[in-house]
Amino acid sequence: MKLDFLLRSLMPKDDKFFKYFGRDVENLRAAAAVFRDLMSNAITKEERAQKIRKIEEFEHHGDEITHQIFSELGTTFITPLDREDIHALASKLDDILDYIHGAAGRIVLYRVETISPEQEKLARMIYDQVQELHTVVTNLHDHTKGENFRESLVRINSIENEADDLFERAIANLFDTCKDPILLIKTKELLVSLETATDQCEDAANVLESILVKNA
């Protein structure tokens, strides 16, 4: 057992970080749900604009929570997890929401009117990954659930691998079938944003795996 972990286990600590993370990942899950619904051809133009505005609100709220975590990190003497892990997890959750927000923004900037099946599926994958992150992060204080946590982390990595395959096929099909170079660039950039969001979810899972190992 590492000395720093032993010291933390014996000294009183402030568990407010778990509450911050709970709020953060709940906000992220809500944003991912709205984004999943946004990436559909079944909604109207007005509904799409409304959902994009809602995602912007989630993104601003996420930034506020991240700032709170970083501020508390600088003033708290004993933390329930390693400081670098708290910083890394907060950063990764923020990155995921940034890419969701960025993809939603491209819908507006590129005047996207039709969502491709691949884009719709990637948005659902992002939500599924975030749902698994939510399961782990909201129970991070309970070390007895380590094995259940790892099932969620494996699921996140599996989804990311599936997303990589889907992305590669979508890009290949795009270059084979799209004759409009401007549309090709716009579609490719949106696909890249979506695939990168799945990468960020995997990165967050890797941070959580490190936390579980250190605190086993």
**pLDDT tens by residue, 110-144:** 988 889 999 999 999 999 999 999 999 998 887 65
Q: What is the extent of the structural domain holding 117? A: 12-214
The pLDDT value recorded for residue 212 is 87
Residue 4 lies in a domain: no
* Domain-located, residue 112: yes
Does residue 167 lie within any of the structural domains?
yes
CATH value at residue 184: 1.20.58.220
Would you say residue 61 lies in a domain? yes
Number of domains in the chain: 1
Question: What pLDDT is attached to residue 187?
Answer: 94
Report DSSP state, residue 145: G
* C-alpha atoms less than 13 angstroms from C-alpha of 16 in its C-beta half-sphere: 12
pTM (2 d.p.): 0.90
Residue 1 lies in a domain: no
Q: Answer whether residue 7 is part of any domain.
A: no
Residue 2 is assigned to a structural domain of this protein: no
